[in-house]
Amino acid sequence: MTNENTVYLSIGSNMGDRLSFLKYAAKSMKEDVNISITRYSSIYETAPIGYTDQDNFLNMVIELKTSYSPLQLLSRTQKIQDNAGREYNIRWGPRTLDLDILLYNQENIKMEQLIVPHPRMFERSFVIIPLREVNPVLYFPSIEKSIDAVYEELRDKEGVYLWKKPFGEEEFEHSES
């Protein structure tokens, strides 16, 4: 793989076997020759925001290296969501799988299809807590703050509960997802 870009990806699910959907997403990334997962966060359970009449989410963050461009990676994540039966009926509504590109290197990307850093990530504890776990020394030039500063501002705003410690390669060896 050439041109290794460092990417942080948020993975969430609140329908069906939530853990299996998280594993499916990570396994799909792992099996792609243009992607290498380098770190996994723990899995956190969180209450929904926005549209609240739905089940709790399982959320995690992965760090990966990829040769994909931002739009190629977006296309890949959308295909994985579609293959998991993702439907887009209600904004912030229930979903089998939600994959969001949080950071792509230290780039600021503004396109019709993609905005990086993810536009709402700094407001969401369910993103910042696992992201901080994966990389506790991140600095965000776009807002001139460290991950710790963002974490201190957010930690009491949303209910984010540790659900499962980090998983890794062994979780995929016997996964049927």
86 has catalytic annotation: yes
39 is catalytic: no
CA distance 134 to 93: 27
Instruction: List the catalytic residue out of 95, 124, 155, 156.
Output: 95
pLDDT in tens, 136-169: 999 998 899 999 999 998 855 657 888 888 766 5
pLDDT score at 74: 96
100 is catalytic: yes
3-class DSSP assignment, residue 158: coil
pLDDT at position 151: 92
For 29-60, how does the pLDDT look when each residue is reduced to its tens digit (9 = 90+)? Answer: 999 999 999 999 999 998 887 766 678 989 99
Task: Find the farthest-apart pair of alpha carbons in the chain and give their distance in angstroms, rounded.
Answer: 44
Nearest to 22 by CA among 56, 59, 55: 59
Summarize pLDDT for 101-124 with one digit per residue, the tens: 999 998 888 999 999 898 889 989
What pLDDT, on the 0 to 100 scale, is given for residue 164?
84
pLDDT at 176: 45
Q: Where are the alpha helices (DSSP H) in 64-118?
A: 70-83
Count CA atoms closer than 13 A to 167's CA, side-chain side.
Answer: 20
pLDDT for residue 93: 59
Average pLDDT, the chain: 86
pLDDT single digits (tens) 10-32: 999 998 899 999 999 999 999 99
- Is 155 noted as a catalytic residue in this protein? no
Catalytic residue among 32, 53, 55, 86: 86
User: What CATH number matches the domain at 5-173, 3.40.50.720, 3.30.70.560, 3.30.230.10, 3.40.50.1370?
Assistant: 3.30.70.560
Residue 67 clears pLDDT 60, i.e. is over it: yes
Marked catalytic residue, from 18, 100, 124, 132: 100
Catalytic residue, from 18, 76, 98, 132: name it. 98
Number of H helices, E strands in the chain: 5, 10
